[in-house]
Structure 1
């Protein structure tokens, strides 16, 4: 093994599709073609074979990691004589525009909630945390919609902090892709899930100022596992 290969394996692993597919360890696919059709985004071509080869191994990996973390939490609570607390495992999914983030999130939600250990998997998109259209217009941010400054980051951090703390019935705003605005008469209720998947453009954002004096919180501070969906620009 060369030094380059050693560094490669220290920093990350890469797999051919067949190699990755084998890591599902014969876990059966429980998703039907009709269910997949409902999960696909518009104009997306995604087959059951791709779900089997790509998403099933990922769901198995996540299931093993989450199960291990939950067992560790139980052991720690027992050692400290603490009352058991239910803390959700938070997964973030990011990527560029129209790359398939939402489809990835919906498929993972469906697969994970079919594992017996995780019956309650919630999915929230950061679209609902965009400032209302009127506020974006008033602050001349309409052309910056989708960039970090167009999001109500305090509301988003307050939401994720409350969910992470195990609080019941935490409300998340909803976004309409018909009016391109935040809904004023409807919210999404998140009530102590086993897993929360949060999907959006900026969920991997970290502090621009990493100095100890910087006290800003970022969504990534609360995330347990991050996924970045990439695609060639030609696609």
Structure 2
């Protein structure tokens, strides 16, 4: 007999949108436009039908986590050090991780039990370009070996230990490099969202992984043909905007014709991003607590929650 067991509860968009016991949280059209990605043509209904039920579910996890933490401190007779609930968000380049992270940050901060929600991206933990060039792996930016894992592990373990006033490095997609003169202050948040393509990555040479510090994890999924299309669309939009600035790292692409730009983006996708997706990102999908599947229009059409 064929084994039909699945480790996930599976919801289509309609059944997920019918989740009960939802708070009356709203965001304005203007705020929504600021939160969504450059080329994500999604309607504000995505908030009420998908992200609000998701935020409500995470709220259930967070309140249970807080109660357990309090009881554990009491049981062990240890000082009540406040540790944040940590959420990891993974997935391919151009799949919409940043939009999901920003929407969740906004919605989760509405609850009085956990109003302080910080968002950190792992881009800031990439090695600076000069180091990548010295290592000869500039063409592997975004691959696991391009990150300063020790620095990332120290940061997230310090956050999880409840240490105050920590600094997270920042990254500029404009200059395509880690910023030397700016950092992000992370000071004992109630919830910390960590967003990055490889946050669910494991390394068999190390005893601990970044994901060991996660209390909830989400993988944003989509068919590769759609992600490739979104990547090329975003490249074209940037060619006509950010790339036009002479200070941009990618200014060299500003003068490309549309056909040249499409071909260039397709080659970058094939040589770098698709390779990273298959070798490092996609294999981590089943490690997530939740998988969110997007359709061709960037709209979420399926949610899988680990049992």
Scaled by the length of structure 1, what TM-score is found? 0.92
Alpha-carbon distance in structure 2 between the residues aligned to 1:173 and 1:16? 38
Query: Which blocks of at least 5 consecutive residues in structure 1 are unaligned?
Result: none
Alpha-carbon distance in structure 2 between the residues aligned to 1:37 and 1:185? 29
Residue of 198, 205, 208 corresponding to 1:217: 208
Residue of 75, 79, 82 corresponding to 2:75: 79
Q: Is the 8 A contact 2:89 2:97 kept in 1?
A: yes
Residue of 191, 215, 224 corresponding to 2:187: 191
Q: Does 1:41 align with 2:37?
A: yes
Alpha-carbon distance in structure 1 between the residues aligned to 2:10 and 2:69? 30
Counterpart of 2:55 in structure 1 is 59
RMSD, aligned CA: 1.5
Counterpart of 1:149 in structure 2 is 145
Alpha-carbon distance in structure 2 between the residues aligned to 1:103 and 1:200? 12
Q: Does 1:230 align with 2:221?
A: yes
Alpha-carbon distance in structure 2 between the residues aligned to 1:87 and 1:122? 13
Q: Does 1:164 align with 2:160?
A: yes
Q: Is the 8 A contact 1:94 1:204 kept in 2?
A: yes
Counterpart of 2:136 in structure 1 is 140
Alpha-carbon distance in structure 1 between the residues aligned to 2:151 and 2:77? 34
Alpha-carbon distance in structure 2 between the residues aligned to 1:87 and 1:167? 8
Deviations 1:204-230 (A, max 9, x none): 0123x3xxxx54321011111110001
Query: Which blocks of at least 5 consecutive residues in structure 2 are unaligned?
Result: 227-307
Deviations 1:159-209 (A, max 9, x none): 0011010000111100011110010000001000000000001100123x3
